[in-house]
Amino acid sequence: MIIGVDIDNTIAATLPEILKRLGWKTVAGYNLFRTRAEEERFFLENAEIFARVQPYSFAAEALQELAARGHEIAYISARPRHALGATELWLEVHGFPAGRVILTGDKPRVLKEMDAAVMVEDAPGEIAAIGGLGVPVIIKDQVYNRFLPGPRFSRWGQFLKAFEVVERGSALCSSWESTLVTGTPRP
Ligand SMILES: [Mg+2]
């Protein structure tokens, strides 16, 4: 199946890198910038962030394992378009499995169009919008998304467990539906 994976603060520790540049120690909410234009200017002036940012430990290994199990990984990010080359190079350098890299302002539509089975994501707005379309989301735990329900993991070493629960859950769900249709009595 196709598995969508977000990049910043899901497989890459981008927030600490941004805070360092802004000279801030912590952040209260998810939105760092007041406007989209301000955010765009920041990433244009600090484009080297996309090469410098550190991957989370075991993220590449976990996604390699999914690829080895026959799944297709698609990297879906809201990064600006000028970050495409740096992003593709970064994924390769850090040992992530090959996959399409799509930079978009509309993740739910992209996921629907590619018929993705699941998305791995940290951003509260995206989690809600994608989940609302019926695509299951596995949440990369961050302080700013803890109010949201759903399967989550904090370290990539635990990801495969969360993935298998979701994978089993969708299988259970479809067998339950077919049971309803055929009218077979359930235990
Ligand atoms: Mg993110």
pLDDT digits (tens, 9 = 90+) for 29-56: 667 888 888 888 999 999 999 999 999 9
Distance CA 76, CA 8 (A): 10
Ligand 1 center–CA 7 separation, angstroms:
6
What pLDDT does residue 28 have? Answer: 63
pTM metric for this prediction: 0.88
Ligand 1 center–CA 177 separation, angstroms:
33
Burial 33-68 (b: 16+ CB within 10 A, else e): eeeeeebeebbeeeeebbeebebbebbbebbeebbe
Ligand 1 center–CA 142 separation, angstroms:
10
What pLDDT does residue 172 have? Answer: 55
The confidence band for 182, taking pLDDT boundaries of 50, 70 and 90, is very low
Ligand 1 center–CA 91 separation, angstroms:
15
For residue 175, pLDDT over 60 is answered with no
Over residues 59-115, the pLDDT tens digits come to 999 999 999 999 999 999 999 999 999 999 999 999 999 999 999 999 999 999 999
- Helices and strands (H and E) in the chain: how many: 8, 6
Q: Which two tokens stand for residue 65?
A: 């394992």
Nearest Cα neighbor of 75 from 156, 124, 6 is: 6
Distance CA 136, CA 150 (A): 9
What pLDDT does residue 176 have? Answer: 47
Ligand 1 center–CA 52 separation, angstroms:
16
Please state which of the ranges 17-21, 79-83, 127-131, 176-180 shows the lowest mean pLDDT. 176-180
Neighbours of ion ligand 1 (CB under 5 A): 6, 8-10, 122-123
Ligand 1 center–CA 122 separation, angstroms:
5
SS3 36: helix
Ligand 1 center–CA 12 separation, angstroms:
8
Ligand 1 center–CA 180 separation, angstroms:
38
What pLDDT does residue 90 have? Answer: 98
Ligand 1 center–CA 17 separation, angstroms:
13
Distance CA 57, CA 92 (A): 15
What pLDDT does residue 29 have? Answer: 66
- 148 compared with 170, residue with greater pLDDT: 148
Distance CA 124, CA 126 (A): 6
Ligand 1 center–CA 108 separation, angstroms:
14
The confidence band for 183, taking pLDDT boundaries of 50, 70 and 90, is very low
Give me the residue spans of the domains in the chain. 2-182
Q: Does domain 2-182 have CATH number 1.10.10.60?
A: no
Average pLDDT score, the chain: 89
- Identify the H or E element spanning 11: none
The CB density around residue 23, as the number of other CB atoms within 10 Å, is 6
Q: Quick one: angle between helices 159-182 and 59-68, nearest 10?
A: 40
The answer to whether the CB of 101 falls within 8 A of the CB of 87 is yes
